[in-house]
Amino acid sequence: MYIKKQRLLTPGPTPLYPPALHAMMASDIHHRTEDFRKAYRACLAGLKEVMGTAHDVLLFASSGTGAMDATVSNLFSKGDKVVVCVAGKFGERWAEIAKAYGLDAQVITVPYGQVVRPEQVHGALEREPATRGVFVQASETSTGAAHDVEAIAAAVRPTQAILVVDAITGLGTMPLDIDGWGLDVVIGGSQKAFMIPPGLAFMSISPKAWKFADSATLPHYYFNLKKEKKSGDAGESSWTPATSLILALAEALQYVKQVGMPHLIENAQLLAEATRAAIRGLGLELFAAAAPGSSVTAVKAPAGMDSGVIVKEFRNRFGAIIANGQGSMKGQIFRIAHLGYFDFADLFAVIAELEIILNANGFPVSYGTGVAAVQRIYERAAVLPQTVAV
């Protein structure tokens, strides 16, 4: 017998920042009080600051999918022409939402593990100049691939279309110059690099996108961007907010600001680089080798081994919860996350555990090979601000 601490190591929900969790204990607060408005304003201002944008930022009590839904139902009208980039499960979700609301979508699909190239977006916009919106994932969580958001934005910016970016795992793992690149809507979720539980979504929205809200005719009620903007300006949410999560977010944002968004991104990039080095060192294959992002690294299971076995072994042997593939990738890949509140200690353990699991399941590796690869990357790492002791 040995102790197995349960550790949540998936690309969302991510490991929780403990002081943010503790902050939820102050939830016996009413949401129409000055005390709560202070926390709500701190969230809106903090999100603006760490997202690095002068655009408006709105918050919702919903999952990230809710904010995706909100964008479509508030900024578009039935029959609007749009371009949807599909490079995995979350791209497919954009396509589903567009279909649910009756948009006329030109869908650019690439195989899982690859990314939509900016030239493809450019071509789609040239083919259909009446296009009013382009939808893309910054980081496609299902595959670990990252889009070249800057170049895609350059293709969209000169057109009448707005660029809507699902940055739910992009924020905090890759640079996103919202105002400089012209990202019209950028969507995030609480349970990713923001280190708190699921239940909140947020978005930035550009002046160009706001104009779309004036003419859009799709029906909506709960998700109402204009109403939410007005409420937010008054330090409130339109409906009852998820107070506990707002308190957690306010606390987590303090930490993110203290670390600094560039350092948070650097942390993810370093851990991603170290993960890739370890995987290659162990003779395994990266899934999204052409455009690997820093939120999560997808790894192909060895030939003849179901990735579900690896995931199960992590849990049963070590109490570590890591992610299987999603959708059609289930059983094919497993995913090692490094967005938000992850550190090298987490990665050392995961890689050491992986080595044991591989050895035990017919894929012999030399113990320590992968860990050493992580250690070598660590040697080169910039010294990051000290994280809190927990």
- Site for a copy of itself, rule CB under 8 A: 6-8, 10, 12-13, 15-16, 21, 24-25, 27-31, 33, 61-66, 69, 72-73, 78, 96-97, 100-102, 189, 191, 197-199, 218-223, 239-245, 315, 321, 323
Closest CA to 83 of 26, 29, 127: 127
* Residue in the block written with tokens 């259909």: 128
> Least CB distance from residue 362 to a copy of itself, whole Å?
26
Q: What is the DSSP letter of 286?
A: E
Alpha-helical runs (H) found in 24-88: 34-51, 64-75
Distance CA 281, CA 275 (A): 10
- Residue 254 CA to chain centroid, in angstroms? 19
Beta bridge partners of 60: 201
Q: Which is nearer to a copy of itself, 22 or 257 (CB)?
A: 22
Distance CA 238, CA 225 (A): 10
> Least CB distance from residue 240 to a copy of itself, whole Å?
4
> Least CB distance from residue 206 to a copy of itself, whole Å?
23
> Least CB distance from residue 322 to a copy of itself, whole Å?
9
> Least CB distance from residue 189 to a copy of itself, whole Å?
8
The residues, any chain, with a CB within 8 Å of residue 195's CB and separated by 6 or more, are 14, 15, 16, 17, 20, 252, 255, 256, 340, 341
Q: What is the DSSP letter of 248?
A: H
Strand arrangement of the beta sheet that strand 296-300 belongs to: 285-286, 296-300, 333-337, 323-324
Beta bridge partners of 333: 300
Q: Which is nearer to a copy of itself, 7 or 122 (CB)?
A: 7
> Least CB distance from residue 22 to a copy of itself, whole Å?
9
Q: Which is nearer to a copy of itself, 10 or 139 (CB)?
A: 10
Count other C-beta atoms under 10 Å from residue 58's C-beta.
28
> Least CB distance from residue 347 to a copy of itself, whole Å?
17
Q: Which is nearer to a copy of itself, 197 or 281 (CB)?
A: 197
SS3 349: helix
> Least CB distance from residue 87 to a copy of itself, whole Å?
20
Task: Give the pairing type, strands 185-189 and 200-205.
Answer: antiparallel
> Least CB distance from residue 288 to a copy of itself, whole Å?
21
The residues, any chain, with a CB within 8 Å of residue 336's CB and separated by 6 or more, are 9, 275, 296, 297, 299, 322, 347, 350
Q: Which is nearer to a copy of itself, 218 or 372 (CB)?
A: 218
Q: Which is nearer to a copy of itself, 57 or 103 (CB)?
A: 103
Residue 119 · residue 94 · CB < 8 Å: no
Q: Which is nearer to a copy of itself, 60 or 112 (CB)?
A: 60
Beta bridge partners of 337: 296
* Residue in the block written with tokens 């306010």: 250
> Least CB distance from residue 32 to a copy of itself, whole Å?
8
Q: Which is nearer to a copy of itself, 217 or 386 (CB)?
A: 217
* Residue in the block written with tokens 């809190």: 388
Beta bridge partners of 163: 134
Q: Which is nearer to a copy of itself, 23 or 268 (CB)?
A: 23
Please give the helix or strand (H or E) that residue 378 lies within, else none: helix 369-380
Q: Which is nearer to a copy of itself, 242 or 339 (CB)?
A: 242
